């Protein structure tokens, strides 16, 4: 399932606080974006313990329990993990990864909050979660009967909220600062091939690994850093993260270039640093430039002129990289009005610099 509207972590927490007490909520989202952590936070907010069941590892008897003879009749004994006396949050993780038989066992639990003769304690809350079919995860078709029993919401990663959380939880400063500079790298769609990919969870793993190796407190071999990064996040992001670590001595270099206090690095050995700065510059333009040219004023006008100048300067060093900086991306692009000005001005500016070099 791919819902038209996706919500951030904070927005989803509001959904849970308002809807989950009265209707079961199912959270859709890619692996590693923090669905489980958010449900645990929700349980803390409402002051209830959280019991998690992993759908992909359940059999029907794990839900409905086992039969026991009671006099002349039999009854089912629900599992101890579910049969609580006090209200709690029941989190059914990877619900759409379980078999159809297990899904059937969930029907009465989700719809009526009961298993056989056992009823969840008054005030208990049921929340489900699962990946989407496009996430290359283990998922099975969810029956229409089960879909129709829940309130569905899709979660998306939000860099600003994640950065705040990362600071509160003292993640490695390199990871936090990198995502501050490249918020678009917090999440990448799962690849078609088997390789690591970037998610809030994988950046957290990278932070843990950097801390264990003592990165930042003592010198860590560049090959080791490269291995750590490639073990956790997307290969392209790993390469740029390594370039970022090489540039730590001057982590404000992009700001210095924008203010004309520094220039693009043009030494061939700094190609990876140049690539990182160029992509960071692209992200800065996408974040800063308004969608409409009519919204430009004051300092923003100065940035527009400087941005075009920096593209011209970058094209002199590496024209292909300058093209990549302004090229449309899969999920983002520079404003159309700015692209029209770049298309109009860039060839002329490049020829102008070529003529200057010939004259010299």
Cα dihedral 95, 101, 104, 109 sign: negative
pLDDT confidence of residue 352 = 45
Cα 307 vs. chain centroid, distance in angstroms?
A: 28
CB 265 within 8 A of CB 274: yes
∠ CA(64), CA(65), CA(67), 5° rounding? 110
pLDDT confidence of residue 357 = 41
SS3 (DSSP) at 91: strand
Distance CA 264, CA 276 (A): 11
**Phi/psi of residue 5, nearest 5 degrees:** -115, 130
pLDDT confidence of residue 289 = 92
**Both tokens of residue 2?**
């791919």
CB 69 within 8 A of CB 174: no
**Both tokens of residue 306?**
């400087």
**Both tokens of residue 238?**
């790993």
CB 187 within 8 A of CB 198: yes
Parallel, antiparallel, or unpaired: how do β-strands 114-115 and 118-119 relate? antiparallel
Residue 56 burial class via C-beta count within 10 angstroms: exposed 0-12, middle 13-18, buried 19 and up: middle
pLDDT confidence of residue 359 = 43
pTM, two decimals, is 0.72
**Strand ordering across the sheet containing 151-155:** 6-7, 151-155, 25-28, 125-130, 89-93, 50-54
Q: Which three-class secondary structure string do you get for 23-73?
A: CCEEEECCCCCCHHHHHHHHHHHHCCCEEEEEHHHCCCHHHHCEEEEECCE
- At the topology level, CATH places domain 6-156 in Rossmann fold (3.40.50)
Q: Where do the domains of the chain lie?
A: 6-156, 160-359
Strands (E), 161-308: none
pLDDT confidence of residue 356 = 43
CB 32 within 8 A of CB 202: yes
End-to-end CA distance of the chain: 62
pLDDT along the chain (360 residues), means of 10: 85 96 92 91 95 81 77 79 90 84 80 82 92 72 83 92 94 93 89 90 96 89 93 94 80 86 88 86 89 86 92 89 82 84 67 44
Nearest to 243 by CA among 198, 203, 279, 191: 279
**Phi/psi of residue 141, nearest 5 degrees:** -60, 130
Q: What is the pLDDT of residues 127-154, one digit of tens each?
A: 999 888 776 666 677 778 888 889 999 9
Cα 186 vs. chain centroid, distance in angstroms?
A: 5
**Phi/psi of residue 351, nearest 5 degrees:** -65, -35
SS3 (DSSP) at 103: helix
């Amino acid at each position: 399932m791919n819902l038209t509207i996706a919500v951030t972590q904070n927005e989803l927490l509001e959904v849970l606080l308002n809807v989950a007490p009265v209707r079961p909520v199912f959270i859709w989202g890619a692996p590693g974006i923090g669905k489980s952590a958010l449900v645990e936070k929700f349980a803390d907010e409402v002051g209830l313990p959280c019991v998690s069941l992993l759908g992909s590892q359940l059999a029907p008897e794990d839900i409905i329990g086992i039969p026991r003879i009671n006099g002349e009749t039999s009854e089912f004994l629900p599992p101890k993990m579910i049969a609580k006396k006090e209200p709690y949050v029941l989190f059914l993780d990877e619900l759409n990864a379980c078999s159809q038989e297990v899904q059937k066992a969930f029907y009465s639990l989700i719809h009526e909050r009961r298993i056989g003769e056992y009823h969840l304690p008054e005030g208990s809350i049921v929340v489900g979660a699962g990946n989407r079919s496009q996430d290359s995860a283990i998922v099975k078709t969810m029956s229409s009967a089960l879909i129709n029993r829940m309130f569905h919401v899709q979660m998306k990663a939000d860099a600003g909220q994640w950065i705040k959380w990362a600071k509160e939880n003292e993640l490695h400063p390199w990871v936090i600062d990198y995502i501050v500079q490249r918020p678009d790298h917090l999440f990448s769609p799962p690849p078609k091939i088997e390789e690591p990919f970037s998610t809030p969870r994988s950046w957290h793993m990278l932070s843990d690994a950097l801390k264990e190796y003592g990165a930042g407190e003592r010198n860590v071999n560049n090959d080791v850093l490269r291995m750590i990064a490639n073990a956790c996040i997307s290969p392209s992001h790993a390469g740029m993260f390594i370039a970022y670590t090489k540039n730590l001595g001057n982590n404000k270099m992009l700001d210095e270039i924008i203010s004309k206090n520094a220039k693009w690095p043009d030494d061939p050995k700094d190609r990876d640093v140049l690539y990182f700065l160029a992509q960071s510059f692209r992200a800065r333009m996408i974040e800063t430039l308004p969608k409409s040219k009519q919204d430009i004023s004051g300092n923003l006008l100065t940035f527009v002129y400087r941005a075009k100048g920096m593209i011209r300067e970058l094209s002199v060093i590496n024209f292909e990289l300058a093209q990549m900086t302004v090229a449309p991306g899969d999920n983002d692009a520079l404003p159309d009005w700015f692209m029209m000005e770049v298309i109009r001005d860039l060839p002329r500016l490049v020829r102008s610099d070529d003529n200057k070099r010939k004259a010299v």
